[in-house]
Structure 1
């Protein structure tokens, strides 16, 4: 299956995101599982319970967390038969030394980059995707 042209846009909520780490046997906390606005991704592995969510939702005292992430998404729903989408996006970011946290759901592909790296991220991604929706809007003004 041929990969269609990719387009990216900022998450419409404009929030700063955090990536939190809890013990692997922790119960999913209410601050991560309620219905407040914002993207939330919860992943349990044998080593951790990882939660990506708007930073403002983190409780005090804070769990171990990496702060200062902003989200963007691939526009549209992509078929599971497509190969290399994340590789092309993350490869471009790696080439520009931009850290990325990627999350895929059934309908959505998300990339989280550090706010400090927004300019370099947009420039790097422009080599593999339409970034017109990122320029002049969102974190750092693109």
Structure 2
């Protein structure tokens, strides 16, 4: 059984130049974030309601993401968990953005597809969706 938490927060994805150095105050003020740096860019995903300092410096912004959190610590030997979640969404033409951490996975869908995504995932026998807590409260 795969347990998903639907987080109540809206998230935004921000893109910066590759050489951008995020301010230390970001990390002190943001309650939840993930940051990626590649040879082409720096990307930051964080709650929209906490993102004012980040948004003002971004080259591009994509708002309106909602997040399903896999409610388990994921063992690296597990196979197919993410596919079990993403494949039904793909089959129903629901775009996703996925972030993985050491402990778990986060599957994000746009707010305007959230209701459809919840309906699709609720039909999957091995998936249970429960309400999650706001990341802004932590």
The question of a shared fold, defined as TM-score above 0.5 by the shorter chain, is answered with yes
For 1:113 and 1:123, locate their aligned partners in 2 and report how far apart those are by CA, in whole Å. Answer: 13
Give the Å deviation of 1:58: 3.1
Aligned partner of 1:105 among 101, 105, 129: 101
Q: How many residues align?
A: 127
Q: What is the deviation of 1:47?
A: 1.1
Deviation readout 1:101-123 (Å, 9 max, x if unpaired): 11111112111111111111112
* Runs of 4 or more consecutive aligned structure 1 residues displaced over 4 Å after TM superposition: none
Q: Distance in 1 between matches of 2:29 and 2:18?
A: 23
Write the mapping of 1:17-56 to structure 2, written as runs, cut at 5 A: 17-30=11-24, 32-37=26-31, 39-56=32-49
| Bigger mean CA deviation after superposition, 59-68 or 82-91 | 59-68
Q: How does 1:45-124 map to 2 (within 5 A)?
A: 45-56=38-49, 57-59=51-53, 61=56, 63=58, 64-124=60-120
**How far apart in 1 are the matches of 2:91 and 2:119?**
11
SS in 2 for 1:68: strand
Structure 2 gaps of 5+ residues are none
Q: Deviations over 1:37-62 (max 9, x none)?
A: 2x200000111101000113133646
RCO higher in structure (CA 8 A, sep ≥6): 2
Over aligned residues, Cα RMSD in angstroms?
1.9
TM-score by length of 1: 0.80
TM-score (ref. length: structure 2): 0.82
Larger strand percent: 2
- In structure 1, the gaps of 5 or more residues are none
